[in-house]
C-alpha cells in the first residue's frame, strides 16, 4: 500500500462550476415566481445545479444514507448515557428498521448502508457487507492513548474513500452522512476544539442521548485531557485522526474528501459529521463547497465547526438522535428545491416595443386606404 498523502486532495478537488451556477441563477430569474419568493430553496436549487453541472437541475432520485459505525474507548469513562461498547446494539436497531433514522429512511424510500469501522464486537455479528471495511475492534481511549496507529488511520481513510467511489460508481446522486457510535461525540468535540483553538467547555455537549450534569463534567474533563494530546499534531491531519479521532471518524473524513473529488454532494448530519468535515476542510479548502449542513443538532461542537466552515444548517428542529436522522429530515427540502428549479415554467416573453411601433406604423396607411375606399 502506497503512502497516503492527504495534500494531494488540494489539487484533486475542484469547486462546483461557477458558470453553471450563474446560468441556474439566470434561469431562476426568468421563472414565473419572483426570485426570493422561495427563500433558501432558490439557493439550494442553484447549488445543486452547479454540483450536477446541469441546467436545469436534475431531480434527486437516488439518495442514500451512509452511516459509519464504531465504538470509542473514551466511553469507558462514562462520558455517554449509553454503555461503552454498545454501538453494536444501535447498529442492530438500524438494520432491523427499529431506529428513528431507519423508520424515516423507509418512509422516504432511502436505502441505508452501514459501514462498520471499529465496533467492539466480533466481525461475524453482522453481515459481511457491513464489516468488510473494518479496521479494528474499538478505538483507543484518547485521553491517555492514541485512538489508532498511523497505519490504521490510513487504512480507515482509504476505506472511506473506497466507499465514496462505490457510491459514485453505483449511481448514488446525493449522500446523507451520519454515524452510529458510542463516545463519538467526545472524539468529535476534541477535533473541533483542536482545529478551532478553543477550550473543552466551549465544545462539550450533551450527546445524542442527553447526559446529566455529572456526566457532562466527566466528558468535559476527558475532552480537555485529549485536547492536550491533540495540539502537538495539529499540522498533520492524518496523525490528528490517529491520535484523537477513531476509525469511524477517519473513514468519514476520507469519504467526504473523495465525495468532493467525485463531485458527489453530501448532506451532513450532526457534530461527528461536522467534525470530520472540519478536518477535511483543513486538508482541502474547496471541499466544503460540495456539502450541506442538514440541521442544527444543538451540539456546541457542531455549531463551532459549521461557523468555521461558514455553513448554515438547513433546519433547526433540535433533533439530537443522531444516526443521520436530522440530515434525512433535510433531504425532502433539497428534493423540493430541485423540483421547483427544474419544473417551474418561465415567464412569457414580452412583445418587443420597437416591433410594436413598426407594426403600428404599417397599419396607418392601411387604415387610411380603407377610409378612402369607404368615401368613394
Q: How many domains does the chain have?
A: 1
So what's the pLDDT on residue 3? 79
Task: Determine the Cα–Cα distance for residues 137 and 118; give it in Å rounded to an integer.
Answer: 5
Instruction: Write down the pLDDT at residue 360.
Output: 47
Sheet holding 174-182, edge to edge: 112-118, 63-71, 174-182, 266-268, 291-293
Cα three-residue angle 129-133-134, rounded to 5 degrees: 110
Please report the pLDDT score of residue 370 as a whole number: 47
Gap between the Cα atoms of 50 and 42, Å rounded: 13
Task: Tell me the β-bridge partners of 63.
Answer: 174
Domain annotation covers residue 79: yes
Cell of 159: 476505506
Please give the chain's pLDDT, 376 residues, in tens: 457 999 999 999 999 999 999 999 999 999 999 988 999 999 999 999 999 999 999 999 999 999 999 999 999 999 988 899 999 999 999 999 999 999 999 999 999 999 999 999 998 999 999 999 999 999 999 999 999 999 999 999 999 999 999 999 999 999 999 999 999 999 999 999 999 999 999 999 887 677 889 999 999 999 999 999 999 999 999 999 999 999 999 999 999 999 999 999 999 999 999 999 999 999 999 999 999 999 999 999 999 999 999 999 999 988 888 899 999 999 999 999 999 999 999 988 776 655 555 444 444 445 444 444 444 4
We report the CATH number of the domain holding residue 153 as: 3.40.50.10210
What residues contact residue 166 under an 8 Å CB cut-off, 6+ apart? none
Got the DSSP string for 131-198? HTT---SSB--TTTS-SS-HHHHHHHHHHHHHHHHHHHHHT--EEEEEEEEESHHHHHHHHHHHHHT-
Q: Does residue 83 fall inside a structural domain?
A: yes
CA triple 110-113-114, angle to 5 deg: 140
Q: Is residue 348 part of a domain?
A: no
Q: How far is 164 from 268, CA to CA, in rounded Å?
A: 14
Bridge partners, residue 268, by sequence: 177, 293
Residue 41 is assigned to a structural domain of this protein: no
What's the longest Cα–Cα distance across the chain? 112
Residue 195 counted as domain residue: yes
Is 129 designated active site? no
All cell numbers assigned to 162:
473506497
Give the domain range for residue 245.
63-334
Question: Which residue in 46, 167, 299, 323 is the catalytic one?
Answer: 323
Q: Distance between CA atoms of 30 and 6, rounded to whole angstroms?
A: 43
In this structure, is residue 29 part of a structural domain? no
CB 198 within 8 A of CB 300: no
Domain-embedded: residue 58: no
- Residue 242: per-residue pLDDT: 98
pLDDT at 375: 46
Residue 136 lies in a domain: yes
Measure the CA–CA gap between 111 and 94, rounded to whole angstroms.
11
Amino acid at each position: 500500500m502506497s503512502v497516503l498523502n492527504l495534500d494531494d486532495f488540494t489539487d484533486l478537488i475542484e469547486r462546483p462550476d461557477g458558470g453553471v451556477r450563474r446560468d441556474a441563477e439566470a434561469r431562476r430569474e426568468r421563472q414565473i415566481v419572483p426570485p426570493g419568493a422561495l427563500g433558501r430553496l432558490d439557493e439550494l436549487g442553484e447549488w445543486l445545479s452547479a454540483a450536477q453541472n446541469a441546467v436545469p437541475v436534475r431531480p434527486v432520485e437516488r439518495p442514500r444514507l451512509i452511516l459509519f459505525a464504531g465504538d470509542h474507548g473514551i466511553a469507558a469513562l462514562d462520558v455517554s448515557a449509553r454503555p461503552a461498547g454498545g454501538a453494536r446494539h444501535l447498529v442492530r436497531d438500524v438494520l432491523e428498521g427499529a431506529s428513528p433514522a431507519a423508520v424515516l429512511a423507509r418512509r422516504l424510500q432511502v436505502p441505508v448502508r452501514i459501514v462498520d469501522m471499529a465496533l467492539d464486537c466480533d466481525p461475524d455479528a453482522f453481515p459481511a457487507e457491513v464489516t468488510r471495511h473494518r479496521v479494528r475492534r474499538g478505538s483507543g481511549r484518547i485521553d491517555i492513548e492514541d485512538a489508532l496507529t498511523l497505519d490504521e488511520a490510513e487504512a480507515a481513510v482509504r476505506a472511506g474513500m473506497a466507499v465514496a467511489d462505490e457510491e459514485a460508481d453505483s449511481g448514488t446522486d446525493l449522500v446523507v452522512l451520519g454515524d452510529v457510535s458510542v463516545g463519538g461525540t467526545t472524539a468529535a468535540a476534541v477535533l473541533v476544539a483542536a482545529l478551532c483553538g478553543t477550550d473543552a467547555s466551549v465544545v462539550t455537549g450533551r450527546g445524542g442521548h442527553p447526559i446529566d450534569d455529572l456526566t457532562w463534567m466527566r466528558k468535559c474533563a476527558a475532552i480537555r485531557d485529549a485536547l492536550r494530546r491533540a495540539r502537538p499534531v495539529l499540522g498533520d491531519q492524518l496523525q490528528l485522526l490517529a491520535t484523537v479521532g477513531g476509525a469511524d471518524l477517519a473513514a468519514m473524513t476520507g469519504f467526504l474528501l473523495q465525495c468532493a473529488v467525485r463531485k458527489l454532494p453530501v448532506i451532513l448530519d450532526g457534530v461527528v459529521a461536522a467534525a470530520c468535515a472540519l478536518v477535511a476542510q483543513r486538508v482541502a479548502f474547496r471541499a466544503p463547497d460540495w456539502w450541506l449542513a442538514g440541521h442544527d443538532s444543538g451540539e456546541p461542537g457542531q455549531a463551532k465547526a459549521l461557523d468555521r466552515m461558514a455553513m448554515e444548517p438547513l433546519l433547526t428542529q433540535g433533533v439530537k438522535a443522531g444516526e443521520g436522522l436530522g440530515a434525512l429530515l433535510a433531504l425532502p427540502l433539497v428534493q423540493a428545491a430541485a423540483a421547483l428549479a427544474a419544473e417551474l415554467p418561465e415567464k412569457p416573453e414580452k412583445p418587443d416595443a420597437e416591433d410594436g411601433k413598426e407594426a403600428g406604423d404599417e397599419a396607418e396607411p392601411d387604415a387610411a386606404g380603407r377610409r378612402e375606399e369607404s368615401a368613394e
